[in-house]
């Protein structure tokens, strides 16, 4: 599960957040942006996969419906990985070259996590592509009980009736833990107080940037 990324050779920095929907990514990202702006740093928030992929019929069917033999989930992963390759090289890297601190809502790790959660292990192609993706300066993996994450998502006005596979969420939680451990990521407990969770993020960021 160890990914080989290319080194960051730019003046900017890349901070990534991965985890289940409802794990607290948006909250942590917004707090980090506020913190960095208070220090007069130039930062940009980006999101993966892109809106084009999120609106793709195949992608939507894969996340909005129960598991189906009619969907090739490897193909869905390839679609998302291609999007992340394009986004990372043509959006994120130019921003970093310009000196920005880029905060990414999800990153390449998420594609590997979903691939594994759907039962595709030892897929050599995804590890080969990761070599073309820049390595984050700090990679955060937010941990929360899958049931808690689902309940949080259900509280969102536009996602009350959204289909969510608890089985997949439980598998994703385990895979994210393994990916974080294998790739020197920082695991952040987001089950309890927001301030406590962000304190851990802030301490890591202080060591990476300041």
pLDDT digits (tens, 9 = 90+) for 1-38: 899 999 999 999 999 999 999 999 999 999 999 999 99
pLDDT recorded at residue 162: 85
pLDDT digits (tens, 9 = 90+) for 60-119: 999 889 989 999 999 999 999 999 999 999 999 999 999 999 999 999 999 999 999 999
pLDDT digits (tens, 9 = 90+) for 145-162: 999 999 999 999 888 888
pLDDT recorded at residue 181: 97
Is residue 35 a contact partner of residue 205, using CB atoms and an 8 Å limit?
A: yes
pTM score above 0.85: yes
The yes-or-no verdict on residue 204 having pLDDT over 80 is: yes
> Would you list the domain boundaries of the chain?
13-209
Nearest Cα to Cα of residue 197 among 21, 27, 38, 37: 27
CATH architecture of 13-209: 3-Layer(aba) Sandwich (3.40)
Q: Rounded to an integer, what distance in angstroms lies between the CA atom of residue 25 and that of residue 46?
A: 12
The reply to whether omega before 145 is within 30° of 0 (cis) is no
Q: Is the dihedral of CA 150, 152, 153, 155 positive or negative?
A: positive
């Amino acid at each position: 599960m160890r990914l080989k990324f290319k080194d960051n050779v730019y003046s900017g920095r890349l901070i990534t957040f991965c985890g289940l929907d409802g794990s607290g990514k948006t909250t942590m990202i917004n707090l980090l942006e506020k913190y960095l702006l208070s220090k007069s740093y130039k930062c940009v928030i980006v999101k993966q996969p892109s809106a084009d992929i999120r609106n793709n019929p195949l992608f939507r069917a894969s996340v909005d419906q129960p598991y189906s033999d009619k969907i090739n989930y490897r193909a869905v992963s390839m679609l998302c990985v291609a999007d992340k390759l394009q986004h990372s090289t043509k959006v994120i890297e130019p921003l970093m070259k310009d000196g920005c601190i880029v905060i990414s809502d999800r990153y390449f790790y998420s594609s590997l996590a979903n691939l594994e959660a759907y039962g595709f292990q030892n897929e050599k192609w995804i590890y080969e592509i990761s070599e073309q993706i820049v390595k984050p300066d700090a990679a955060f993996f937010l941990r929360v009980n899958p049931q808690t994450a689902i309940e949080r998502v259900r509280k969102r006005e536009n996602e009350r009736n959204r289909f969510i596979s608890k089985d997949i969420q439980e598998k994703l939680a385990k895979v994210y833990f393994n990916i974080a451990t294998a790739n020197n990521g920082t695991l952040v407990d987001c089950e309890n107080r927001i301030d406590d969770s962000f304190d851990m993020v802030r301490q890591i960021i202080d060591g990476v940037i300041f």
